[in-house]
Amino acid sequence: MTTFGARLTEAVSARGPLCLGIDPHPELLRAWGLGADADGLRAFADACVEAFAGFAVVKPQVAFFEAYGSAGFAVLEDVIVALRGAGVLVLADAKRGDIGTTMAAYAAAWAASSPLSCDAVTASPYLGFGSLRPLLDLAAANERGVFVLAATSNPEGADVQRAIADGRSVAQSIVDHAAAENVASVGLGSVGVVVGATLSEVPDLTALNGPVLVPGVGAQGGRPEALAGLGGAAPGTLLPAVSRDVLRAGPDVAALRTVGERMRDAVAHLAR
């Protein structure tokens, strides 16, 4: 294997920068004519896997699988295997964050060799960036990626993320910590950050040398054409994430793929 940063660079160059979400929300299940149960979850996930096999990155939202207990996790495990088998990078949107041995256990689940292990995982640093050390170290050892929440688009996040400490915002300090993890990287680093597409103020990303996951494009109001140069991010490092705008096209697999390709074309300039 090569580092996640290197694999991501190659995937984006070949398949575009779009990150497609698999978010089996109960309302979407019903809209697809499926039951809000484990069987409906599997049918939804199978259609997404088939439709998204030609894309660079797919992001399952773990909570919507977790809601069905062991049956949901079984579906998620199959999704991970199928997507990776098709050459797709899988980013688990798990937003894990804890301390000590608990964080180490989360790391073992998502960044080692468990059935849930993916190419990358999202993580919350709001118990202190240092609390992520077990995940960062294990991910590096296994050539996985970590996307650390920095500046999210939910209104409640601003109270914490825009607070000033030591002359910089908390969000900026998280970006700076992530940048420090990437200093020794040859090529794109494997520690990225999450920055909402709808924010009017974003951290300075010029020194990150890592990928930037940008949720909120489409249904939440983020405009693909407005993302270029976000926060000074280097060309080819932005990963716009789209879920509902594509998933509404289901359950027809061809329709899902067509809408996904249309969104990929809309953000293609970000890969350059």
Catalytic residue list contains 95: yes
Where helices occur in 88-192 by DSSP H, the ranges are: 100-111, 133-141, 158-161, 170-181
Question: 179 and 207 in contact (C-beta within 8 Å)?
Answer: yes
User: Radius of gyration of the chain from Cα atoms?
Assistant: 17
User: Cα dihedral angle (53, 24, 89, 17), rounded to 10 degrees?
Assistant: 80
Q: Is the dihedral of CA 146, 223, 22, 83 positive or negative?
A: negative
68-75 long-range contacts, CB within 8 A, separation 24+: 68/37, 68/38, 68/41, 71/38, 71/41, 72/38, 72/41, 73/116, 75/38, 75/41, 75/42, 75/45
- Residues facing residue 148 across a β-bridge: 123, 193
Of residues 239, 156, 149, 158, the one with CA closest to residue 194: 149
Selected catalytic residue, list 25, 84, 95, 162: 95
Joined tokens for residue 98: 């804890």
The residues assigned a catalytic role are 95
